[in-house]
Amino acid sequence: MARVGLALGVASALTGYLSHPRFYCNYVECCPRDGQRLNASGTAGAGGGRAAPELGRSLGSAARGVRALKAQLDNRLFGQHLAKDVVLKAVLGFSNNPSPKKPLMLSLHGWAGTGKNFLSQILAEQVHPAGLRSKYVHLFLATLHFPHHDQVKLYKEQLQNWIRGNVSACPSSVFIFDEMDKMHPGVIDAIKPFLDYYEEVDGVSYRKAIFIFLSNAGGDLINKAALDFWISGKRREDIQLKDLEALLSVGVFNNKNSGLWHSSIIDRNLIDYFVPFLPLEQRHVKMCVRAEMTARGYAVDENIVQAVADEMTYFPKEQRIYSDKGCKTVQAKLDIHEDLVMREMKARGVGQLLAAAHTSLKEIDAVSVRKV
């Protein structure tokens, strides 16, 4: 009996250990615990009755998460000082708040190729390391998921059910809505109750979720403002959020080709930040080319960097200041130069091998002479 009791005790302890979140979550993706809304190296403690140390750990973890996010944005997102600053401040305030009053709601605007998708993916990765592959990150494409104008009512019901079910499973869920400029007006208003200042809606709290809109709408307004700064001799980096946010909010609200046309989400001021993405200059396109070459394992060749940048089209036509596709076609254009890159790498490799062989032969001759 004693042996049976011991075996049962060991089995019970082992089962408890294997089912403990800290072990289980090493192998299976888990929803972040409270105090871990951003991916950071530290972990929040779980001891009972020690609220102040718990809060301190949570704030420390949040600060590390924001630093990690800043490093990612600095290294991977080019030419968007405004977007970086706004998103970092928004995320820091949201993650530092142990009890936010509403979900974080960001609306990213700008022409294609300026980095909107890229930033949303980086932010998703900081909340859920698997990023877009995470079961807690949900990407909606207007033309794919909401294509038919006569099914708006059905889309709204499906969208509410989907969000309700996923936030119930993980309060820190991330929802990304791409192609907002192509979404049928009225569809997105279905999520308005989840974005508002309610503690719960039908027994579910949405306050720790993150919602991100991506839209080309307002891009023309942003581009005009950037060009006006350039014409007046001001630095691009001097553009501030106050120069664009109100312009964006009104412009998108009144844009009949936008999914946010006369939206109650804007009318109720539920979007925390309208984030403008500026048009990219040639120097930023070159940064994208260098980053892509490095990602492919190539040595950066400035001749190829310049060649790819020169093949892009720019506006205004006379001054050629801004890339009209941002960095969107950099990968495709670099593919064209890939054969040249590979030939140069092979040539360098052969040259290095010949040089090494020549050196080895000289060393062998030297040894032979000494022996004689």
> How many whole angstroms separate alpha carbon 205 and alpha carbon 194?
8
Q: Is 113 annotated as a binding residue?
A: yes
Yes or no: say if 118 and 76 are a contact pair by the CB < 8 Å rule.
yes
Q: Is 117 annotated as a binding residue?
A: yes
Yes or no: say if 114 and 80 are a contact pair by the CB < 8 Å rule.
yes
CB atoms within 10 A of CB 250: 14
> How many whole angstroms separate alpha carbon 337 and alpha carbon 335?
5
> How many whole angstroms separate alpha carbon 245 and alpha carbon 225?
11
> How many whole angstroms separate alpha carbon 268 and alpha carbon 126?
29
> How many whole angstroms separate alpha carbon 41 and alpha carbon 23?
16
> How many whole angstroms separate alpha carbon 102 and alpha carbon 189?
16
Q: Is the dihedral of CA 68, 102, 183, 260 positive or negative?
A: negative
Q: Is 114 annotated as a binding residue?
A: yes
Q: Is the dihedral of CA 274, 280, 285, 287 positive or negative?
A: negative
DSSP label at residue 97: -
Q: Is 242 annotated as a binding residue?
A: no
Yes or no: say if 197 and 102 are a contact pair by the CB < 8 Å rule.
yes
Q: Is 116 annotated as a binding residue?
A: yes
Q: Is 2 annotated as a binding residue?
A: no
CA dihedral 158, 135, 102, 267 (to 10 degrees): -40
Q: Is 317 annotated as a binding residue?
A: no
Yes or no: say if 80 and 101 are a contact pair by the CB < 8 Å rule.
no
Q: Is 35 annotated as a binding residue?
A: no
Annotated binding residues, as ranges? 110-117
Annotated binding residues for ATP, as ranges? 110-117
